[in-house]
């Protein structure tokens, strides 16, 4: 009995230590964001004065609103386009019997796994030919043609829905497309929510894509790009840099608290069973 009690204490002590380790950096970032310039250069952990004005200052010093707008536009459009194009593909891969079905699925996984840098040069040249480099469109438009990761995730979920449901709908006289929209999509809502959130956050956090395409005009930048360059503009002002960092994290953290279950289910889907 004492052995199990000891074990219980040890486990919880370890878990609390880990929790501090995982949360610590976020807390330090938040605290530094509220320090004065001078104090942020010391190794103090607690702000002497709470400088809420730092947040107003970062908006005055950098076109943050423009960057937020661009990031939102990129994330929202890319997510909407991805859903429209990827759902039918995932549905066909999960439900239809056709020649080359397995090959198609294998190719989806292959494209999902290959580093984007492998095909970056020719794709960049395509967009340059259409004079779309220097904008975020090269990151948004391809989503109309499906996204391998989302297709994979949706397909993994759709194969778990028993066939009886679509068979029943067919007996009731539903066509294929109606069955998809009326029967399958409502049942797949958790998976759709998960891929939509993953896509949205991928875009919100994306750095490589905008670095490649957004160009040198600050008006086309996203939050990630601006953030990476922020410190070089305001060299030693760690407090402002951390305030901007916190600003980029905040929406992610807030949405996560409301949609935890969706995320966790989504991550589980990525693991093979």
Partner 1 sequence: MRGNLRALLYLSPWLAGFAIFFVYPLVSTVYFSFQRYDLFTLEPVGLLNWEYFLKDQAAWTAIRNTLWLVVVMVPLRVLFGLGVAQLVTRLKAGVGVYRTIFYLPALVPLVAGTLGFVFLLNPGTGPVQAILSAVGLPAPDWFGDPAWSKWGLTLLGLWSVGDLMVIFMAALLDVPKQLYEAAAIDGANGWRQFTSITLPVIRPVLMFALVTGVIQTLQYFTQAEVTARVASGATDSAGSVFTPGYPDQSTLTFPQWLFQQGFRDYAMGYACVLALVLFAVAMVFTLILLRQFRFAEEES
Kindly indicate which of the ranges 54-62, 72-80, 185-193, 261-269 contains the residues binding partner 1, using the contact rule CB under 8 A. 261-269
d(C-alpha 37, C-alpha 29), whole Å:
14
Residues 232-251 that bind partner 1 (CB under 8 A): 232-233, 235, 238, 241-242, 245-246, 248-249
- Start-to-end Cα distance in the chain: 36
- Give, for 97, the enclosing helix (H) or strand (E): none
- The minimum distance between CB 60 and partner 1, in angstroms, equals 19
Name the minimum Å distance from CB 213 to partner 1: 10
CA 227/CA 207 separation, integer angstroms: 10
Beta carbons within 8 Å of 113's beta carbon, 6+ residues apart: none
| CA 18 – CA 25 distance, rounded (Å) | 12
Position 12 contacts partner 1 (CB under 8 A): yes
Q: Which one of the spans 60-68, 163-171, 181-189, 228-236 is the region binding partner 1 (CB under 8 A)?
A: 228-236
Evaluated on CA atoms 118, 269, 71, 206, the torsion sign reads: negative
Would you tell me how many other CB atoms lie within 10 Å of the CB of residue 221? 24
- Separation CA 224–CA 205 (nearest Å): 6
Instruction: Show contacts with partner 1 in window 125-154 (CB under 8 A).
Output: 125-126, 128, 142, 144-146, 151
- Contacts with partner 1, 100-119, as mask; x by CB under 8 A: -xx-x-xxxxxx-xxxxxxx
CA angle, corner 57, sides to 202 and 257, nearest 5?
35
Q: Which of residues 22-41 bind partner 1 (CB under 8 A)?
A: 22-23, 25-26, 28-29, 32, 40-41
Question: Is residue 47 near partner 1 by the rule CB under 8 A?
Answer: no
Q: Which stretch binds partner 1 (CB under 8 A): 51-59, 72-80, 184-192, 256-264?
A: 256-264
The CB-of-51 to partner 1 minimum distance in angstroms stands at 16
User: Least distance (Å) from partner 1 to the CB of residue 172?
Assistant: 20
Q: Name which of residues 161 to 190 contact partner 1 (CB under 8 A).
A: 176
Using CB under 8 A, count the residues that bind partner 1: 102
């Amino acid at each position: 009995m004492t052995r199990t009690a000891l074990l219980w204490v040890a486990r919880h002590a370890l878990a609390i230590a880990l929790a501090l380790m995982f949360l610590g950096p976020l807390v330090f970032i938040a605290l530094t964001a509220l320090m004065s310039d001078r104090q942020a250069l010391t190794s103090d952990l607690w702000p002497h004065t709470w400088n809420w004005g730092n947040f107003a200052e970062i908006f005055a010093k950098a076109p943050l609103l423009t960057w937020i707008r661009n990031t939102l536009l990129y994330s929202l459009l890319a997510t909407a386009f991805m859903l429209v194009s990827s759902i039918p593909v995932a549905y066909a891969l999960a439900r239809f019997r056709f020649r080359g079905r397995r090959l198609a699925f294998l190719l989806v996984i292959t494209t999902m796994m290959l580093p984007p840098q492998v095909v970056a040069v020719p794709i960049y040249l395509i967009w340059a030919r259409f004079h779309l480099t220097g904008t975020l469109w090269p990151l948004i438009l391809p989503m109309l043609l499906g996204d391998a990761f989302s297709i994979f995730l949706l397909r993994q979920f759709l194969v778990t829905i028993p066939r009886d449901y679509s068979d029943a709908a067919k007996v009731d006289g539903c066509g294929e497309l109606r069955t998809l929209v009326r029967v399958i999509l409502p049942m797949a809502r958790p998976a759709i929510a998960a891929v939509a959130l993953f896509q949205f956050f991928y875009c919100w956090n994306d750095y490589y894509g905008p670095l490649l395409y957004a160009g040198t005009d600050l008006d086309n930048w996203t939050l990630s790009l601006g953030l990476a360059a922020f410190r070089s503009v305001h060299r030693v002002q760690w407090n402002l840099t951390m305030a901007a960092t916190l600003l980029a994290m905040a929406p992610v953290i807030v949405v996560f608290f409301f949609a935890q279950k969706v995320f966790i289910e989504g991550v589980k889907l990525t693991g093979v069973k």
